Structures are given as structure tokens and as C-alpha cells.
Structure 1
Amino acid sequence: MATGDDPNPMEEFLRQFGIQPGPDGTFDLNQLMGPLQQAFQQFSAQMDAAGDGDGLNWTLVKDVARKVTAASGPDPSPSATQAATIRDAVGLADLWLDDHLTMGRIDTAASAWSRAEWVEQTIATWQQLAGSVSSSLAGAVGGLMERPDPELASMAAMMEPMMRTAAAGMLAAHVGQGIGRLSTDVLSTSDLGFPLTQRPVVALLPTNVNAFADGLDIPLADVRLYLALRETARQRLFAQVSWLGPQMLALIEHYARDLKLDQAAFEEAIEAQMQGGLTAERIEEFGNQLAGKLFQPVVTPEQAEILGRLETLVALVEGWVDDVVTQASAAFLPRGAALLEIVRRRRASASTSDAALKTLLNLELRPRRIRDAANLWAAVRTQRGVAGRDEVWSHPDMVPTGADLDDPLGFAESGHVAAPPDDLDAMLAQLLDEERGKGGGSAEG
């Protein structure tokens, strides 16, 4: 047991509930049972923990995300005028796009969202993607409880449920921080390059769009229309290509399943909570402080392969959007080429979204080959026409690979020979089958 100036964290934790050691410095387990059970019941009620404490409390996740959006500056609900302006921009975008892609219009009305509404509308997908980190959480708690002070080891079984609840709250605050930071940077529904809503919907965030347009020396109306074109094309693609959204989400989910918590940082936070008072407010505070630090930086070879595939798919989606929108806007939007370069520079630079994805899922999603993908799609369109370009999306085996991006003209002429399925393909297929069995969690085709 620690003495002097080095207090034992477990002892400090017990003292906050009025549980004191006896004259010989030890604890009477019979006397501990009642106070500990009462403390756990009170704390569980305060945290409103989900299930048995192993999973994430998504009410808390959303609450923290909303707090982050509120702290980032004014976030008013879009006015009726703003909503009408965005609907008009999307209507014009649909008209311009009709002759430049084969994917039909979606049947969901265009929307204007505040940052808080973006959080509300996308939280179900984040739950699917980030929910798997609870397995890492359970392992970390188990590891912590296996190494208590020898004199307190007999209390580990009683303490574990409370520690799981506390850790789940801390991780929920961490995840909420990442989602909230994303909401301050995204410009539209799927600005990140993959679908985030249960059904395809074109939505812009006026607050973020205005901030993006500020200082560009391009009329706000042109910026809004250009972003509407991009999001409309993207949502048409996700709606028409039924395998694309689910496969992208399955890749991210599989990547997240292998995340490992940084045990040292986790234990340090838990011990600090135990010494300073285990409350819902302090757990949220520690979760926020750990933003970007909670996961180990190690990326396994399997994760690296998954990330490579995901970055290629995002590059292909964004490159296709580049080609479609460039063709659709060429005759009507004189600043379209300038806006394309601005969007490309934004994607290439380290942004709030990059940092937030790193915080949320330890995911550094930096698709570096979007320009190559745009060149490939342009070559395919020149060789086969618009219908031939879009037909490539009809089956995952027909879609370009990273190697094809090195030879766009060769792919345009003859496509590529699909490689035989590997272990990762089998695991992704199993994930997709599981999602279909649950009946949700991906963009509709």
C-alpha cells in the first residue's frame, strides 16, 4: 500500500465515498459491500450508462458533440430564406447534372442544416462506426483491474462495474469531441467522401459554407452552387451504386475494430479521476482532455491495407465528382475551375476534419490520389462516353484499383483484370452480410 506523499489511487477513490481503512491500514470487505453498492448505484444513475457499462453511452456522445458545436461559435438554425436558397441551388445543380451523369435524381428534399443538426442527422452512422471501440474499452478495463494494489485485490470484482462505467463515460466524451469538431468543418452531408446518413440527402451547412467562402473573392452564390453541385453528384452516386456506401462503411468499421487504447494514458486518466472525485462532469472533462491521445498510434499491417483500400475508394468518389461537376458547370459557372482548385487545396491541407477523424477513430484519411482519379475518369469518359464511365461503378470488381491510377489510359481502353478475393475481401463480405441482417446502418441504394 502506498505511503507518505504517494497516495494509493484506489484508497483515494474509496475515501471520496467515506470508506476509510481500519487502524491497521486495511479494509474490512464486509463493511465495504454496502457503501460500494450504494456508490455504484448512485454513480450509474448519474452517468445513465447504457447496458452493462461495456458499450458507449450515445446520449453522452451526442451531448458532448453538441457542446463542442456550441463552443465553436454561433450556430443558428438556418432561416427560411437560407433553406429556400439551398433548395434553389440544388434544383439548379440537378438540372445541370442531368446531362453529365447517368445516376438519377434522389427523391429526398434538399436541406439546410446547422452544425447541431448535422450531428443529429449523422449520429446513427457514427454509432455504427465507432461502437466497436467498446471491445478495446473492455480489454483496457480488464487490464487495469488485473493489477490493483495487492491489499485491495479482493475488491477488484466489486470495483470493476464502476470502473467500466467510468471508462465508458470517458470514451463517450472522447468520441463526442471528435464528432463535434467534425461538425465545425464539414460543408455538406458527405463532405468527408463517404455516406453518413441513413438515406441519401443533399444538405449544406450555411454557417460553415459562409466561413469557407469568406475571403475567396468569389460571390457566395457561386460558392454555394458549386458545393451544391458536388454534394448532389455525390449523393446520386451513393443512391445509385448500392454496394459503394456499405463497402466504405464496412472498411471503416473493420479498421476501428482493431483499435487499441493507449493503456498508459487510460490508466493515468482513471487514476486522476479516482483521486479527484469520480463524477459525470469530471469524466467528461477527462474525455475531452484525452482527445487525440486515447488510442495507440500503431497501425497494424491489416489496418494499413484497409486504409489503402478506403483511400482509393474515397479518391475514386471525389475524382468522379470532380470530373462530373467540371463538365456540368463549364458553360455556366465561370469560376468553377478556380473553385475546383480551392476545394483540392482544402482537401490536401491538414484540416479540422483530419484532426477530428484522428481523434474519433485514429483514422488519418488523406486520399492523395484524387487528381489522378479525376484524370482516370476523364480518360474513361473520353474513351467510352458518360454512360461508359458511370457503368464502371456497376460492380466492385470493375472499379479501378490503386495500380490503375498509374495507367489511366490503359484502364480507359481495357479496364483491369480483377484480382482473386483475399482474406480481407471475405471479412468485408461477412461484415456486409451482418449489416444486411440487421437491416440498416448504410446508405440506401
Structure 2
Amino acid sequence: MSDNTPDDDFQEMLRRMLGGDQNAFGEAGIDPEQLRNMGVDPAQLQQMMAAFQQAMSTSNGEIPWDSARTGALHVANQDSLAITSGQRNDLAGAFQLADLWLSEATNLDPTGQLPIVLTRGEWVEQTLPVWQETAEPVAESVADALTDALEQQTPEEMRQAISGASRMIRQVGGSLFAAQLGQVVGKLSKEVVSGGDVGIPVLPPGVAAILPQNFDDLGEGLEIPHEELALYFAARELAHARLFKHAKWLRLHVMSQVTDFARGIHIDTDVLDDLAGRFDPSDPQELQEALGSGALLPKQTEAQKHALDRLENMLALIEGWVDVVAADAAARIPSLDRIAEATRRRRAVGGPAQDALGMLVGLQLRPRRLREAAAMWRAIGDAVGRDVRDGLWDYPDLVPTAEDIDNPQGLIARLEASARGEEAPRDEMDEALAQLFAEAEAEEPGDDAGEAPSGDEPDRS
């Protein structure tokens, strides 16, 4: 009779199914050529299986983010080209000239840091901590929900016996999510052109960066001179860097909104319960597809919709300001209008990796109100000048609101009145607050006939 506990037997079964035996990829196993014919990269599959084996050996319940890094670098380094000295020199010259032009378009100071050029792999290394921070709440929710779903389907008398197996199942779910995130970030590294390209601040404040290989790919087919395209993107990237360097509160503000949105995500337990009932750790493809398709993410709650609206408005304000300032700085470029329109179309359509990120964490990074926000910033600058316009980034409570995007003239009127030293015109919000205060004052007890007599009055009893 075996001395193994049910937990030991379950762990041994999982180890065998997850490739612990030598023949998992040997002659008796799956032919790598067959995997390629099915559209599966054997190297990626081996990395995932290795992550699972590591999960089996540790079972500490933590998300194995190292597998995300390994997977992202594997994808990023495919077809990756080294940066040539010519590319470095061309982009350095574009950055230098764009920085001079930018000082004529905004009062925000230069960052004092040299712009950098990055390979795709270097971009992954530098930005992965931000993607991990963004995705971690969802990953934890997936891992916890998978464990809960499996435990609920286990008979009460067996739950204690398989507690260790539950921890391993949790780590398998976390491993799948981390591997999926690595694939998405690796694919993003082939789409992004600059540090500020994805909307959220993925590089430290003040750092401006361009990926030369992706920049060259972008220029193909546009029939726009390379040097003009380089100047425009350098101006955009430097404007982005100056803004985040100046508004020291902004990065934390944006990332807090991102993580608040992510923490509000709760996995669709109905879908997961159904999936958990037939979950086979040796064939995690169905769970992986559910993660990648967004099937596990339920419809957004009202609170989440409000959080997403706030985030989208802030991203639109940032990108709209960058658009206006970069266009002013690059006004000397003959092809400016064509470049700006191509950039707007590219951002509106996005790329497959951005769509995949949205499916994975429920977050779309394409602000819908970008044109309206840019028009607002343009109107403010024309009316009160760039000093006042850029000063709105000094403190969080000065930044325009969604209502200001809808009605720039109301904000402009207040700014013009403030510049003249006058009391700002009252808007609907001011009127509503005044009405509330007036009603509150009217309800306060006063010296009227309904008051009880004071002790000094004569006794009329």
C-alpha cells in the first residue's frame, strides 16, 4: 500500500502532466514540427512549461513575474536589430534641434537629461515593472478565483488533503497570466516608437526615448522625409518628457488611476466555475485563451466606468497638450500636417498588442476625447498665452476637467478674469454651490416666533 497522501499523489500527477518527465518533448512526446504547423512556437511552449515546473517546485502562491520577463524578451528579441551609429547620430541631431524648437513652444523647462535610443529588448527591461504594476491586481484576482473555483468543486472532506495542491493550482493560474503578459509586452515592444507612445508613463519622469527599429518601420510607406519624421517624433517625445518632469505629481496620479481601475476588476466566476470543472493542468490552452480573449473579465461596474472615464480624460489632456505643443514646435517642418494626421490615425487604430493588453487587463490606452482635448488646449493658448496654459499643470487642482473639455470658453473666461484681477465669472457649478449654501443658512435656527422663550422673559403661565 502506498504511503503517499492524496496531496502527494496529486502533486506527482501534476508534475507528470506538466512536463516533469523527460519524454515530454522527446520522441514519444509532441513533435516540434507539428507544433509549428499548428501555429505554436515550441520555444514559447517550452518556456511556459518550464514556468509551470518552477511553480510545482515552489508553490509559494506568488505570481512568477520572472516568466513574464523571459517571455517578453523572447518575443522582443526575435528579428531585433542592433542600433547603428548612424541611427544614434541622426536621432541625437533630431532631439537636439527639436529641443531648441520646443523651448519656443512651451515654458516648461528642458529635462536636463539626454534622450536615449532603445532596442526592443531594452524597452522591455525598462518598462516591465510598470506593466507588472498595472497587471498585478488582475493576476492576483485570476489566481485567487481559480483556486476558489476549484476548492468549491472539491468535496468538503477532501479540501484539507489537497490544500497544497490548491496552492499549486493558484500558482499555475498566476504562471499562465504572467506568461500571457510577457507575450503582450513583447509584442508591444515591436509596435511602440517612443517612450510616451502608449499613453501611460512607462519610463521614469524626464526620460525621452525612441526605438530606432520601430521608427524606421513606421516611416515605410508614408513617403515623408526621414529627417522630418524624426524631428516631429523627437518634439513629441521631448514634450512628453518635459511635462512629466515639470508636473512631478502627474506620474503618480496617472498610475494611481490605472491601479485603482485594475483593482476594481473581479473575475467572472460563472465563466471560471465552468472552466474549472474541466480544467486540465496538462492542457492549459483553454484557460490561456480565456485570459487572452477577455472572457474572464466581466462587464464593467458603474464605479469602474467612472474610474475609466477619469483615466481617459487625463490621458486625453496629456496627449492633447503634447499634440499642440509638438505641432507648434515643429511648425517649420514642411510635411507637418501629413505627419500629424498619420500619427493621429495610428494612435486611433492602435495595434494588435494594445488590443491584447486591453483583453488581458481590461484597459484600453487610446483616449477617445483626444481631438477635443487638443482643441481645448489650443483655444486656451490662443486666448491667454502659453504661460497661463502651461501653468495649469502646476497643481492637480488646476488641471482642466472633463467639463472644461466640453466647454473651453467657461475655463477661458475664468482664466481671463483671473489675469485681470477680477472675480472669475460664475458658472453652473458656482451657482449650484451658492444655492446650497443659501438653503443651508436659511435652515439654521434664528430668532423667530417659533423659538422657545428665553429664561429672561416673564412667566406667562
Query: In which range does the TM-score fall when normalised by the shorter chain?
Result: 0.7 to 0.9
Q: How far does residue 263 in structure 1 lie from its aligned partner after superposition?
A: 4.0
* CA deviation profile, 1:295-333 (whole Å, cap 9, x unmatched): 314111111111111111111111111111111111x20
RMSD between aligned residues: 3.1
* CA deviation profile, 1:351-398 (whole Å, cap 9, x unmatched): 325303313311123312211111111111122211111001111111
Say if 1:229 and 1:51 are closer, same or farther in 2 by CA, change over 3 A: farther
Say if 1:165 and 1:394 are closer, same or farther in 2 by CA, change over 3 A: same
Aligned partner letter, 2:149: G
Match of 1:203 in 2: 209
Match of 1:119 in 2: 124
Q: How far does residue 115 in structure 1 lie from its aligned partner after superposition?
A: 1.6
Q: How far does residue 274 in structure 1 lie from its aligned partner after superposition?
A: 2.9
Distance in 1 (CA, whole Å) between partners of 2:59 and 2:428 is 45
Contact 1:259 1:295 (8 Å CA) reproduced: no
Aligned partner letter, 1:83: R
Contact 1:193 1:318 (8 Å CA) reproduced: yes
Match of 2:113 in 1: 108
Q: How far does residue 148 in structure 1 lie from its aligned partner after superposition?
A: 2.2
- Structure 2 gap ranges (5+): 21-49, 416-423, 431-461
Q: Which has the larger radius of gyration?
A: 2
Say if 1:52 and 1:367 are closer, same or farther in 2 by CA, change over 3 A: same
* CA deviation profile, 1:260-297 (whole Å, cap 9, x unmatched): 2344655676676636x3xxxx6599647742335314
Match of 1:32 in 2: 6
Aligned partner letter, 1:117: E
Q: Is residue 60 of structure 2 the alignment partner of residue 86 of structure 1?
A: no
Match of 1:405 in 2: 405
Contact 1:169 1:283 (8 Å CA) reproduced: no
Distance in 1 (CA, whole Å) between partners of 2:260 and 2:334 is 42
* CA deviation profile, 1:219-277 (whole Å, cap 9, x unmatched): 122112211110110010011101111111100001111222344655676676636x3
* CA deviation profile, 1:189-238 (whole Å, cap 9, x unmatched): 12112211234311111121112111111012211221111011001001
- Calculate the TM-score normalised by the size of structure 2: 0.75
Q: Name the structure, 1 or 2, with higher relative contact order (CA <8 Å, separation 6+).
A: 1
Identity of aligned residues (%): 31
Say if 1:207 and 1:231 are closer, same or farther in 2 by CA, change over 3 A: same
Contact 1:50 1:57 (8 Å CA) reproduced: no
Q: Is residue 148 of structure 2 the alignment partner of residue 142 of structure 1?
A: yes
Distance in 2 (CA, whole Å) between partners of 1:134 and 1:29 is 36
Aligned partner letter, 2:109: G
Distance in 2 (CA, whole Å) between partners of 1:58 and 1:31 is 31
Q: Is residue 379 of structure 2 the alignment partner of residue 379 of structure 1?
A: yes
Q: How far does residue 341 in structure 1 lie from its aligned partner after superposition?
A: 1.0
* Superposed counterparts of 1:106-185, under 5 Å: 106-136=111-141, 137-148=143-154, 153=159, 155-185=161-191
Contact 1:54 1:164 (8 Å CA) reproduced: yes
Contact 2:73 2:124 (8 Å CA) reproduced: yes
Say if 1:380 and 1:215 are closer, same or farther in 2 by CA, change over 3 A: same
Say if 1:204 and 1:49 are closer, same or farther in 2 by CA, change over 3 A: farther
Q: Is residue 310 of structure 2 the alignment partner of residue 309 of structure 1?
A: yes
SS in 2 for 1:105: coil
Q: How far does residue 34 in structure 1 lie from its aligned partner after superposition?
A: 4.5
Contact 1:69 1:183 (8 Å CA) reproduced: yes
Distance in 2 (CA, whole Å) between partners of 1:135 and 1:62 is 17
Q: How far does residue 130 in structure 1 lie from its aligned partner after superposition?
A: 1.5
- Calculate the TM-score normalised by the size of structure 1: 0.78
Match of 1:64 in 2: 71
Contact 2:267 2:298 (8 Å CA) reproduced: no
SS in 1 for 2:195: coil
